[in-house]
Chains A and B, each alone.
Chain A
Amino acid sequence: MNARWWVPFAFLAPALVGLAIFRFAPIVIAAVGSLFGTTLRGESVFLGLRNYTELFADPSFWSTVSTTLIFNLIINPFQVVCAMGLALLVERPTRFVHIFRASFLLPMTVSIALTSIIWAIMLDPTLGPVNGFLRWAGLPAQRFFRSPDQALGTLILVATWKGAGYWMVFLLAGLLSIPKDLYESAAIDGATGWQRFWRLTLPLMRRPLAFVLVADTAANFLLFAPVYIITNGGPNGATQLLMFEAYQAAFAHLNHGRSLAISTIILAIILAIAVVELRLFRPAEGSA
């Protein structure tokens, strides 16, 4: 369309200025700020890479990194499998399917802070109704978030309770766009349901599955609210995730250099994930 050269930029300016200040400037601030430290008198001093060398020499940082890695290596595949399972269960238009789809989406509408509060109460070892149910069913009561062995697993289950339905939306859209005659001709050829799933559905779903896995990884990598609200990183550091460590460094220990160094590491990883996601992104899927 013909217009004077500045017209498109005038339309773009407010949004681009907003993105530049509030999304992209912080990336630069994290990278530059991580090279500085604050003296006791509150003066800023240039430290070079010392925030990073101190971080890498700190065993508690490495224990946070390993907890974050274990958490992500389990939760991301687990959530994708759960989301795919849910999508397959409500794929066919049977009776009541709308009710089931809606109920699968319900946790998505509960904010992450409220999800944390609800489950902190539900899973409280003494007051919570979940232990009440376990005792009623003749099972031993559990410590959940209060046990160093169970806390991370419980966190994974709670995050999946909220997340699975959201990711299901993308996979359900993918499943419903597979042409039905492909299944019919496979059935005529005598393929069993199991064979159809492995040879037909999964290969055709490769792209939506990859998109969900990558986008889900970015979201879980930044998980903060449940750690802050329920566990405070405990018990015994069992749920000390990287994002919470960055928060603690800034707001509990008032060490902004260290906090920005952790933020820079997080941002580098998130940027790498986002670039992969961008390549997998197709407009038709994003609108779902």
Chain B
Amino acid sequence: MTGFAARARALAFMRHAALVLIATALVLPVYWILMSSLRPADQIFRHAGTFGLETLVPMQLTFENFRFIFSGTFPRALFNSMFIGVATVTLGVFVNSMAGFAFAVFEFPFKRALFAVVLLSFMMPFESIVIPLYTLMRGLGWTDTYAALILPEVAGGLVIFLFRQFFAGIPKEIYEAAVIDGANWWQIYWRMTMPLSGPTIATASLMLFIHQWDAFFWPLVAASREELAVVQVAIARNMTLEQANWGALFASASSAVLVAMVPFLFLQRYYIRVVATQADR
């Protein structure tokens, strides 16, 4: 029996060692970039080649790198990404919730086929159509415009699906009562259903925003003009040039990482709840 207990303890120890090792490998690169953005420019690589405590813990901290990037072209890229993200969220929540409402509430011809098309659109990653979409945009004369960066990401299968799932859970009697009271469908959608959808709207908004914030391939080809560069493209362009200011690169990369990571940290609890409710079944 003691042999069995010892084996179980050894297994638990190995499991925890593996957990700590993997978590370190996953978190450390992000940590190192964030820390390096706070180091004075001449300190960034001084402790990288020779490993030691100072590789991980900066002895001198400065906000100089951040002050530098915010005096250059980076604020413009930040504005572009924010504007494109907010515009996509505004249009996307509206357009996709309407479609989700139709799929959840009405019966109509070709409903199953249309819904399959919607699902198919989200099983095909956006990258697969980037090059022919560029051909289309060039034909329309839309390259190098905000519209080219915003409109293609507005309608999305996954967001339509999210809204459909939520609206399908609302009891049909509520709609029937509203129809009897003389409300038209637009009023039912806009005054009754949407105000109930707070959490779904929040999830959809976050998904749409992060998707645009992280986008790289499409903004790279669709907008070559410097003034339309989004954050990801601006940072990557700085990377490919002969790098003279590493501090600025680290500071801009850190800012871009944090914008996507902070909302995720807030949603962490919600995410675990979603997984946990699945476990209860």
Which of A19, A90, A287 has the most C-beta atoms of chain B within 10 angstroms of its own C-beta? A19
Describe A's contact surface by its main secondary structure: helix
CB proximity of A135 to chain B, nearest CB, Å: 7
B146 at the interface (CB under 8 A from A): no
Kindly report which residue of chain B lies nearest to residue A123, judged by CB atoms.
Answer: B29
| Min C-beta distance of B194 to chain A, whole Å | 12
Between-chain CB contacts (< 8 Å), 22 pairs: A11-B102, A11-B185, A11-B189, A15-B99, A19-B157, A33-B132, A105-B264, A107-B26, A110-B261, A112-B214, A113-B236, A114-B232, A118-B253, A122-B32, A132-B50, A133-B51, A135-B50, A136-B51, A161-B29, A176-B279, A247-B221, A287-B274
Write the chain B residue with the least CB distance to A284.
B278
**B278 touching A15 by the CB < 8 A rule?**
no
Interface residues on A, range: 35 or more
Task: Find the B residue at minimum CB distance from A273.
Answer: B123
Q: Could you tell me if B128 and A267 are in contact, using CB atoms closer than 8 angstroms?
A: yes
CB distance from A119 to the nearest CB of B (A): 7
Listed stretches B14-22, B57-65, B71-79; interface member: B14-22
Give A163-212 interface residues, CB cut-off 8 Å to B. Answer: 165, 169, 172-173, 176-177
Complex: A271 Cα to B99 Cα, angstroms: 23
**A102 CA to B19 CA, complexed, in Å:** 12
Contacts of A117 in B (CB 8 A): 235-236, 239, 249, 253
B50 contact set on A, CB distance < 8 A: 132, 135-136
- CB neighbours of B43 from chain A (8 A): none
Residues of B near A222 (CB, < 8 A) are: 125, 127-128
CB < 8 Å neighbour of B22 from A11, A19, A89, A132: A89
List residues of chain B with CB under 8 Å of any chain A CB: 15, 18-19, 22-23, 25-27, 29-30, 32-33, 45, 47-52, 55, 94-96, 98-99, 101-103, 105-108, 114, 116-121, 123-125, 127-129, 131-136, 151-152, 154-155, 157-158, 160-162, 165, 172, 175-176, 179, 185, 189, 210, 213-217, 220-221, 232-233, 235-236, 239-240, 249, 253, 256-257, 260-261, 264-265, 268, 271-272, 274-276, 278-279, 281
* Residue pair B278, A176 in contact (C-beta under 8 Å): yes
Closest to A269 in B: B128
Residues of A within 8 A of B51 (CB): 129, 132-133, 135-137
Residues in chain A within 8 A of chain B (CB atoms): 1-3, 5, 7-9, 11-12, 14-19, 21-27, 29-30, 33, 86, 89-90, 98-114, 116-122, 126-129, 131-133, 135-137, 161, 165, 169, 172-173, 176-177, 215, 218-219, 222, 224-225, 228-229, 243, 246-247, 250-251, 256, 259-260, 263, 266-267, 270-271, 273-275, 277-278, 281, 283-284, 286-288
Contact B108 A8 (CB under 8 A): yes
Top 8 nearest A-B pairs (CB, nearest first) are A18-B155, A136-B51, A111-B214, A15-B99, A176-B279, A274-B123, A26-B132, A11-B102
Chain B, residue nearest A287 (CB): B165
